[in-house]
Amino acid sequence: MKRHRLLAAILATITILAGCGLEKDVGSTDEIPGPGAEEIHGDAKENHSDTAQGTERNEETVAKAALPQELAQIPEEYFEESEYPGTLVELEYDTYESMTYEEREQTLHKRAIVYLPYGYSEEEKYNVLYLMHGGWSDETTYLGIPDRPAVFKNVLDNGIADGEICPMIVVCPTYNNTRPDDSGDYSLALRLTDNYHRELAGDLIPAVEGTYSTYAKDTTVEGICASRDHRAFAGFSMGSVATWRTFQYCLDEFRYFMPSSGSLTSDGEYMASMVRDSGHTWDDFFIFAASGTDDFAYASFRYQIEAMVEVSDGTFRYADNEGEGNLYFLEQAGGTHSGEYAMEYFYNGLRWIWQP
């Protein structure tokens, strides 16, 4: 009963909707899925030629642990306050209006919510997860604010304290532009998530990693790109769309991507062209994707994953570990489009990422 009350409170405060498909091929909840899940899991594509040019991955820093075979529920005690709490900080920074970003005519003063793990020290280096909200939401949705933390902060605190999650910095930004409710306008949100990479790479990452201790030696373009193995982007619903867009534009800055219940296209070749155009190779990134079978975004999301696996040149290789592949998908039977399942997907990804 305690967990049910907590989840009711979560669902009352986390409204994460929209974001099922766009631009190249608008996703439809009525699309017929391609090959069954058993074909994805049982027919991982054979490795193909590795002739494409890309950055050399750092074998000492990429995750070695295998992802789980099924999604684990968050332990109910993780929703309670931890004896070893991390700290929430409001980080303010300047950026530019999204539609005219390159002209830099209108400066925007924005805020991100930053989670620092228990025992955070400037003497240590930390991996960084950038966690984007969905529709009708903002930077406070997942973690709350310093005076009023959200329950997902407790999940981070307890998971780190138990060794389930590696100590890391978590950054919750927003793609909201000139209005705090921009994310409630579906078509506008699609445009803003497509534009967001400029603010992310040009303003947010330097603000965060120039303030806190990370693996970036400095916040020059070179310093940020050199530390990409220690950076991840995740999101649910429209936050998942933002994650795919980050994959499209920011492979130089990010190695890990955790999209859930929000697709970009049903064209696997289009997704593969993003990798080819970036100059990266199959072993320069890893995507952990998740969705629920009763989620209205499930069909189009799964269809995109299947289309990516079917690309014949080996750009996407299905596997539960980085040694053999770069794409993995888990689904939750009965999972719906809700904050409860969004947290479950993040929790499962965080139990794996950067683990030895």
What is the pLDDT, as a whole number, of residue 65?
A: 82
Residue 277 contacts by C-beta under 8 Å, 6 or more apart in sequence? none
What is the pLDDT, as a whole number, of residue 278?
A: 97
pLDDT in tens, 168-206: 999 999 999 999 999 999 999 999 999 999 999 999 999
Contact between 285 and 247 under an 8 Å Cβ cutoff? The reply is yes
pTM for this model (two decimals): 0.86
What is the pLDDT, as a whole number, of residue 16?
A: 41
Assigned architecture for domain 2-50+72-352: 3-Layer(aba) Sandwich (3.40)
Q: What is the C-alpha to C-alpha distance for residues 241 and 307, in angstroms, rounded to an integer?
A: 16
Structure tokens at 331: 């689904």
Q: Where are the alpha helices (DSSP H) in the chain?
A: 2-13, 37-42, 151-161, 186-199, 205-209, 221-226, 238-249, 268-278, 298-309, 339-352
Q: Where are the domains of the chain?
A: 2-50+72-352
What is the pLDDT, as a whole number, of residue 64?
A: 64
**Amino acid letter for position 202:** G
Using a 10 angstrom Cβ sphere, with 0-12 exposed, 13-18 middle and 19 or more buried, the burial of residue 181 is exposed
Residue 205 contacts by C-beta under 8 Å, 6 or more apart in sequence? 130, 216, 219, 224, 231, 253
Given the DSSP bridges, would you call strands 144-145 and 148-149 parallel, antiparallel or unpaired?
Answer: antiparallel
The segments of the chain whose pLDDT lies below 50 read: 1-57, 61, 63
